Structures are given as C-alpha cells and as structure tokens.
Chain A
Amino acid sequence: MPRRIVSGTAQISPEGGRLLRRRHFLASLVGVGSLALLPRRPRADGREVRFGLTPVFLNSDLELLTRLKAYLTASVGQPVELVMRRTYQEITALLLSGYLDAAWICGYPFIQYQDRLSLVAVPVWRGQPLYQSYLIVDRKRPVAGVSDLRGDIHAFSDPDSNSGYLVTQALLTDAGEVPNTYFRKTFFTYSHRDVVRAVASGLAESGSVDGYVWEVMSEIEPDLTSMTRIVRKSEWLGFPPIACAKALRGKPTTERIAQALLTMGDDTDGRQVLDILRLDGFTPGDDNLFRGIAQKYDQVRRLG
C-alpha cells in the first residue's frame, strides 16, 4: 500500500513541483521551447541549473513550460535551463553523466539505475505519489481482458517506460509470453499521448499507456480519450520521480531544486504549474515507493 502523501500547500515541500506533461507533448515543443524557455541569464557566481524533462511530462502547452522555468529560476535562485529529449534513454543518460542537475524521469529507469541515482522529489496525484498503467483498446471493440489482445498491433510508449512498456511486458512474462510474439506487431510512439492517438485512430488495436496521462487527457482532450476504452488497470505504482545523480545528492543546487519542488504549492506561479499538471504537489518520497516497479523489473529479467 503506497504511503499517503501530504496534501495541501503547507504539506507539500518547496521542491515538490508537479509537472506531469507527457513526452510527446514535449516533443512537439522542443523547437519552440528552446527559443521561449531559455533566455540565458547566467549568474555571476555560477552556471545555469539544468533540469531535464522526459516525455513522462505532459508538455502540451508553452505556458506550462514558461511558468515552470520562471518558478524554478526564482525558487532556486539561479538561471534554470529546461532540457528536453525525445526518449527516456537520452534524458537518463544525460542525468547519469552529470550533465543534468536533476530530471523528471520514469520509475523504470530509476530502478534500472538505482545504484547511481537518488530521489529528489515525487509528484503527488490525487493525494498519493502513485499512478497506474492502463491497457486501452478502441471504444467499440468488444474485449473482455488481456487474453483477447493476442495478435493485436500494440502500441507502447517507450522501452524505458514503466507504465508504457514494463507493466505490460511483466504481465505477459508472468503468463509465459513475450510482447513480440504475443502481439502481431508492436511499436513505440515515445509519447503516452501518442499511444492514445494510435489506439483512437485505429493504427494500433491496443496500447499500454500511463494512467495519469490518460486521466488528465480525459479532462483536456475528452474527444480523444473517449475513442478508447480501458481494458485493464495495473496495481498502483510509484509515480515517475524527480531524480539526480547520486554524486549530486546533498549538493546545494540539488537541495534548492528539491526545496523549490516541495514548496511549489506556496507560490502563485508554482500553484498554476500544479494546476496545469493536475497535481497536488511534491513529496520527498523514498525508494520503497518503487518496489513494485523493481519487482516487475526483476520478474522480466528473470523470466524474459
């Protein structure tokens, strides 16, 4: 049972920014973002803070990124550069290399590199730092369960995504199957939103998607999600965290980033960022939140 996370402004730490825009939203804004987000204002006494955003982030609008950057810059007290890449792998690599001070990654790479990464904060959604993975199909398709999805063209989000790949992979592994043979064809959209698009358009017959993204999309783009139907929801798993390289743990910059996220709800700009992301706030969290993901990772490694 996941730990109950603090809710409300007073309970959310300053570093608890809850940006949850997913990566395909980001992908479309990479070009624009590089212009709009990064008016460089280096401090005389240090370099810019680099904050990585993976496609786990819901990146649907420029306003969100502008406000997040403004908020982090003001809260950290240093210029902040938002660094965005298309895949989880790219951001994870930049984080591990120390290029990034912190990054919003997925629980799966966090578990994969647990020995080299450290938690900075975990977003709180609907009162807890947890989310689910959904298996979705076309709204009109009469499907009762996962067994009916055999032979489908299936859309995954990212090979390093927990909800968009690992959960389904583990599910099939548990049944003695592997995605490449269970499904007629699989492909990656590198964006949770695009998994919904792929299923809604009929390109994919089923898809694995982040439950948080699907739920937020059902508020923002109900026309798109209403064309899909949830066949299966996974158990609750640790929400994609903000992490840093273990070497940077406890460093002043890292601490200021953590503080900025945990106290995001106290600030007007921060509050607006949380509202856009439909998040309650951020919590410090701990590694135990990701035990479920770690189990699936082990299961896949062991049986896959």
Chain B
Amino acid sequence: MKRSLRRIGAWPVAVKVPLVVAVLMVAISAVLSNQILVRLSQTQQRHLEQLASAYLDGLSSSLVPYVLRDDIWEIFDQLDRSRERYAGLSAVYTIVAGQDGSILAASDPHEFPSQEPVPEALSERFVGTNTLVLAEDEGRAFVRRPLSYQDRPIGAIYAEIDIQALLAERRQVLLTLIATNAALTLVFAGFGYLAVRRMVRPIDILAAHLERGRGGRIEPVPRAQIGPKNSEFGRLFRRYNALVRALSERETLAARLAEEERMGSLGRLASGMAHEINNPLGGMFNAIDTMERHNDNPLVRNSSLQILKRGLVGIRDVVRATLVTYKAGGETTRLRARDLDDLRALIQPEVGRRRLTLEWRNDLPDDFTLAAGPVRQAVLNLLLNACAASPVGGRVCLEAGARDGELVIEITDQGPGIPPEVASIMNATKADPPPPMHGTGLGAWMVNRLVRQLGGAVHATQLPAGGTLVRIAVSTEGNKGLRHVA
C-alpha cells in the first residue's frame, strides 16, 4: 500500500492533477447522480401513488353500487373501460373481491375467474391498505383499496401495476448521467492534463537544469525561457540564476582558496625541505673534500662515496615525495601503502625541527581502488597540522589500515586539541560545505572537501588525555570520488 502510494507520488504533476480532477469529478458525479436518482425515484413513486390513487378513487366510487348488487358484468365493464382511461398507469390486472374474499370480477377473468377466492400467494403481496408496495426487482407495484358503503366494508380492489417503464426511465437517466459525467470527466481530465502540462513546463526546465547541475555543469536558465518578469516562474528562474551565479563564484573562490592552502603548505614544506637537503649537503661537501685530499686512500674514498650516496638518496626521496604530492594535473594512480610511507619523508623536517616522536603503523594493503592523490594530500595536511600542534618533544601517531572494506587512517597528536569551530568545519557532513570566511580552518575545510569528494568522511575528536584524533574513513564501494579518479 505504502509502496503504491509512493509510486503514485512519483508520478508527474501533469498526470496527478488531472487524475485528481477526474477522481473528484467521479466522486461529485456519483453523489449528484445518486441525489438525482433518489429524487427521480421519489417523484416517480409520488406520481405513481397519485395516479394509482386517482385510478382507485374513480373505480371505487363507480364500483360500489355494482358490488352491492353483485353485478359482475358491470364491475368487469368498469374495469375494462378504466383500462383505456388510465392507460398511463399500466395496470397488469385489477381484481374486485367481495367481502368474503372471493373474486367478483377481474380485468383478466381468464387469469382470475369470478367466484374463485383471491389466490393466497397474491393477496400476501398486498400489504396494508392504500399503500403502494413496490417490488422493483419484479418491475411491479401492488396496491389494495378497501370498498365500503355506509362505513361498512363490502369488498376490496387489488391492482398490480407494471412499473417497468418507470424503472427503464430511471435506468435511462442513470446511463445518461454516467455517459455525460464520463464524457465531462474525460474532457476535464484531458484539459487539465494539457493545462497542467503547460503550467509545469517551467518546472521541467528547472528540473533539467538541476539535473545537469548534479552532473557538475550548473548553468543558468537562458533568458528566452525565463518568461514574464512578474510571473511566478519568471521570479523563480531569476532567483535560480542568481543562485547559480553565487554558486559559481563560491566554487571559484573555493578553488582559489584550496590552491592558496596548497601553496601555503608547499611553502612550509619547502623551507623544511631546503633544510633537509641542506643537512646532507654539508656532509656531502665534506666527503668530496676528503676524497680530493685522500683520493689515493681507497678506504677514505669508499667511505666518502657512501656518505655521498646516502646524502643523494635522502635528497632524492624528499624530491620524489614532493613531486608526487604536488604533481600538477592531479593524481590518478591507485593508493598503495608506499604512497603513505612517502609522506614520512615530507614531514621529517618538521618532526626533526620539533624533535617529535613519529609513530608510523601503515598496514594498508595494495589492492585499494582509491585515488592516491586526494588521500595523500589530506593525510599530509593532517600530519603537518599534527606536527605543528604537538609540543616540542611530543608524539605524533599515524595508523592506517583496512577495516570491513573501508580505508581507515587515524592521526593522533598531543596538542592542545582542535578548536571547536575548526572541528565543526572538519566534521561537516553537508554535501558541499562553504569555505571558512575568516581564514581559520581552511586546512580542515580542504581535508573535509578532499575526503568527501572520495565519498568518505572525516571526523576530528578531542582525546580525553589531551590531543586530537582525526579519523578518515573511505569506503571502497560506491566511492564516487574513487570511480571518478580511477
């Protein structure tokens, strides 16, 4: 039932409104038809009663003397002549019975012979006196009129009346009502369909634009389709177009802010990276000087070469991780455990600078069908924030793994805790949350945006013992961001 109602609720307005009109028309016509038929039935019965009463009045006044005289011929003659006079009554038969219940004469003596008693089965049909008893299923009416003279009963008249013509008239009226109402209902429903369809056409236009917007291409309604300025839909379209413009501006702003945040992170990273490259450089130069001075000593030369190699490997790792993370055009490769491990190199300068302890438990399998780029960016951002928030000599922890088909990454720090306004930005569940307007929480907004683009969720919580736990969870099933990227 509920499902049916839900299905009907999904029908187009252009169908539902005419349907409602049709249903209402049918209901109204049913009520009206019933009223008309009831009135018609009452009118028919009243007319029938009046006609029957006139018939019986006329008969009884003329029959009384003949009944008193037991003149069966005159009784029959009166009945026979009254058949023409009251042709409109359609009496099937009329019986005049004496006080003893035997038939004096009937309009059809073959059927009801004189001097025979009125058949019992028949007399039972005549209930009461002067009351018209209707048997509509048989198309008959029965009426009995007592005959009296000087207040003494002398007999009775029984008449059976054919009311099939009245019933046929009623049926005819009913059929006419049904046909007329059906035709009117169809016409009104058709007219309603066309009218509503025309009226809701702007909704179709709006729906088409919204549908396209869902696919990423949100466009304003063309001016030609907007219609009159003062019309409801004209105003609606104008507001929609204003909304589209606002959204476009916000998208542009968000992209710019994201880029700025990325560049900001890059700046911080670059200084650390320079430091990281500079440290081995001193040792490498010392190694080169030593080689120049003791080139003939194979031990010294080999030792210097090893120092050079370690320094270059360290520099290469830093450079490669940076290139992968900030590669222009986005990352389209799938996420592997190594992609997260690379990040250690990127935050190492910050870890070293603040003498932090980095706990790194990366149990990520290599078969995740997730885009590596957004995950790396989000995790790097969180790691940098965790390093920045933790006190000197503190501890930063990363745990990554797969649980029940979900990628779960948890980053913990020992900082003072995430401010509530930043946490609300980080934890936002709206489809497309607006960027923060006061500069605070831009990183959190970007992380939220990146994770939500992957169809996942990010949640930051204050730890009871102090510090912050940020948890990223991304399902690998039905992951829009993933499908889009992969």
Asked if B317 is at the interface (CB within 8 A of a chain A CB), the reply is no
A203 near B115 with CB under 8 A, answer no
Q: Which of B71, B77, B109, B115 contacts A202 (CB 8 A)?
A: B109
B110 near A201 with CB under 8 A, answer yes
B73 near A194 with CB under 8 A, answer yes
Most chain A CB inside 10 Å of its own CB: which residue of B71, B113, B114: B114
A185 near B80 with CB under 8 A, answer no
The residues of A that contact B108 with a CB separation of less than 8 Å are: 201-202
Asked if A294 is at the interface (CB within 8 A of a chain B CB), the reply is no
B72 closest partner in A (C-beta): A187
Chain A window 24-56, contacts with chain B (Cβ cutoff 8 Å), 1 for yes, 0 for no: 000000000000000000000000000000000
Asked if A153 is at the interface (CB within 8 A of a chain B CB), the reply is yes
A28 closest partner in B (C-beta): B81
Asked if B237 is at the interface (CB within 8 A of a chain A CB), the reply is no
B76 near A198 with CB under 8 A, answer yes
A184 near B115 with CB under 8 A, answer yes
Asked if B428 is at the interface (CB within 8 A of a chain A CB), the reply is no
Asked if A155 is at the interface (CB within 8 A of a chain B CB), the reply is yes
A201 near B115 with CB under 8 A, answer no
Asked if A132 is at the interface (CB within 8 A of a chain B CB), the reply is no
- Cα-based distance from A163 to B109 in the complex (angstroms): 25
The residues of A that contact B77 with a CB separation of less than 8 Å are: 189, 194
- Cα-based distance from A197 to B105 in the complex (angstroms): 14
The residues of B that contact A197 with a CB separation of less than 8 Å are: 80
A153 near B73 with CB under 8 A, answer no
The residues of A that contact B73 with a CB separation of less than 8 Å are: 155, 187-189, 194, 198, 203
- Cα-based distance from A89 to B77 in the complex (angstroms): 21
Q: Smallest CB–CB gap between B91 and chain A, Å?
A: 15
B76 near A185 with CB under 8 A, answer no
Q: Which of A188, A189, A194, A203 contacts B114 (CB 8 A)?
A: A203
The residues of B that contact A203 with a CB separation of less than 8 Å are: 72-73, 76, 105, 109, 114
A153 near B110 with CB under 8 A, answer no
A185 closest partner in B (C-beta): B115
A187 near B80 with CB under 8 A, answer no
Most chain B CB inside 10 Å of its own CB: which residue of A153, A187, A201, A203: A203
Q: Smallest CB–CB gap between B77 and chain A, Å?
A: 7
The residues of A that contact B72 with a CB separation of less than 8 Å are: 153, 185, 187, 203
How many residues on the B side are at the interface (Cβ–Cβ under 8 A)?
13
How many residues on the A side are at the interface (Cβ–Cβ under 8 A)?
13
A27 closest partner in B (C-beta): B77
The residues of A that contact B114 with a CB separation of less than 8 Å are: 153, 185, 203
The residues of B that contact A201 with a CB separation of less than 8 Å are: 76, 80, 108-110
Q: Smallest CB–CB gap between A271 and chain B, Å?
A: 34
Chain A window 94-110, contacts with chain B (Cβ cutoff 8 Å), 1 for yes, 0 for no: 00000000000000000
Q: Smallest CB–CB gap between A228 and chain B, Å?
A: 13
A202 near B113 with CB under 8 A, answer yes
B115 closest partner in A (C-beta): A185
Chain A window 207-232, contacts with chain B (Cβ cutoff 8 Å), 1 for yes, 0 for no: 00000000000000000000000000
Q: Smallest CB–CB gap between B428 and chain A, Å?
A: 103
B110 closest partner in A (C-beta): A202
Q: Which of A153, A184, A187, A194 contacts B71 (CB 8 A)?
A: A187
The residues of B that contact A198 with a CB separation of less than 8 Å are: 73, 76
The residues of A that contact B71 with a CB separation of less than 8 Å are: 187
A189 closest partner in B (C-beta): B73
The residues of A that contact B109 with a CB separation of less than 8 Å are: 201-203
Q: Smallest CB–CB gap between B234 and chain A, Å?
A: 84
- Cα-based distance from A230 to B109 in the complex (angstroms): 20
B76 closest partner in A (C-beta): A203
The residues of B that contact A189 with a CB separation of less than 8 Å are: 73, 77
- Cα-based distance from A194 to B80 in the complex (angstroms): 11
A198 closest partner in B (C-beta): B73
- Cα-based distance from A201 to B80 in the complex (angstroms): 10
The residues of A that contact B113 with a CB separation of less than 8 Å are: 153, 202
Contacting A at CB under 8 A, from B30-84, are 71-73, 76-77, 80
Q: Smallest CB–CB gap between A56 and chain B, Å?
A: 18
Most chain B CB inside 10 Å of its own CB: which residue of A153, A188, A201: A201
The residues of A that contact B76 with a CB separation of less than 8 Å are: 198, 201, 203
**Known pairs A194-B73, A198-B73; A153 contacts B115 (CB<8 A):** yes
- Cα-based distance from A202 to B110 in the complex (angstroms): 5
Q: Smallest CB–CB gap between A200 and chain B, Å?
A: 10
- Cα-based distance from A213 to B77 in the complex (angstroms): 19
Q: Smallest CB–CB gap between B250 and chain A, Å?
A: 103
Chain A window 252-283, contacts with chain B (Cβ cutoff 8 Å), 1 for yes, 0 for no: 00000000000000000000000000000000
Q: Smallest CB–CB gap between B372 and chain A, Å?
A: 113
The residues of B that contact A155 with a CB separation of less than 8 Å are: 73
The residues of B that contact A153 with a CB separation of less than 8 Å are: 72, 113-115
Chain A window 127-169, contacts with chain B (Cβ cutoff 8 Å), 1 for yes, 0 for no: 0000000000000000000000000010100000000000000
- Cα-based distance from A201 to B81 in the complex (angstroms): 13
- Cα-based distance from A106 to B80 in the complex (angstroms): 28
Q: Smallest CB–CB gap between A65 and chain B, Å?
A: 21
- Cα-based distance from A153 to B102 in the complex (angstroms): 14
Chain B window 104-131, contacts with chain A (Cβ cutoff 8 Å), 1 for yes, 0 for no: 0100111001110000000000000000
- Cα-based distance from A194 to B400 in the complex (angstroms): 123
Q: Smallest CB–CB gap between A25 and chain B, Å?
A: 13
The residues of A that contact B110 with a CB separation of less than 8 Å are: 201-202
Q: Smallest CB–CB gap between A82 and chain B, Å?
A: 23
- Cα-based distance from A159 to B80 in the complex (angstroms): 23
Q: Smallest CB–CB gap between A154 and chain B, Å?
A: 11
A140 closest partner in B (C-beta): B110
- Cα-based distance from A197 to B74 in the complex (angstroms): 12
B77 closest partner in A (C-beta): A194
The residues of B that contact A202 with a CB separation of less than 8 Å are: 108-110, 113
The residues of B that contact A188 with a CB separation of less than 8 Å are: 73
Q: Given known contacts A187-B73, A194-B77, A203-B72, what 19 new A-B pairs fall within 8 Å (CB)? A: A153-B72, A155-B73, A184-B115, A185-B72, A187-B71, A187-B72, A188-B73, A189-B77, A198-B73, A201-B76, A201-B80, A201-B109, A202-B109, A202-B110, A202-B113, A203-B76, A203-B105, A203-B109, A203-B114
A–B pairs, 24, beta carbons within 8 Å: A153-B72, A153-B113, A153-B114, A153-B115, A155-B73, A184-B115, A185-B72, A187-B72, A187-B73, A188-B73, A189-B73, A189-B77, A194-B73, A194-B77, A197-B80, A198-B73, A201-B76, A201-B108, A201-B109, A201-B110, A202-B108, A202-B110, A203-B72, A203-B105
Interface residues, chain A, CB within 8 Å of chain B?
153, 155, 184-185, 187-189, 194, 197-198, 201-203
List of 10 A-B pairs having minimum Cβ-Cβ separation, nearest first: A202-B109, A202-B110, A203-B109, A203-B76, A189-B73, A187-B73, A201-B109, A187-B72, A153-B114, A198-B73
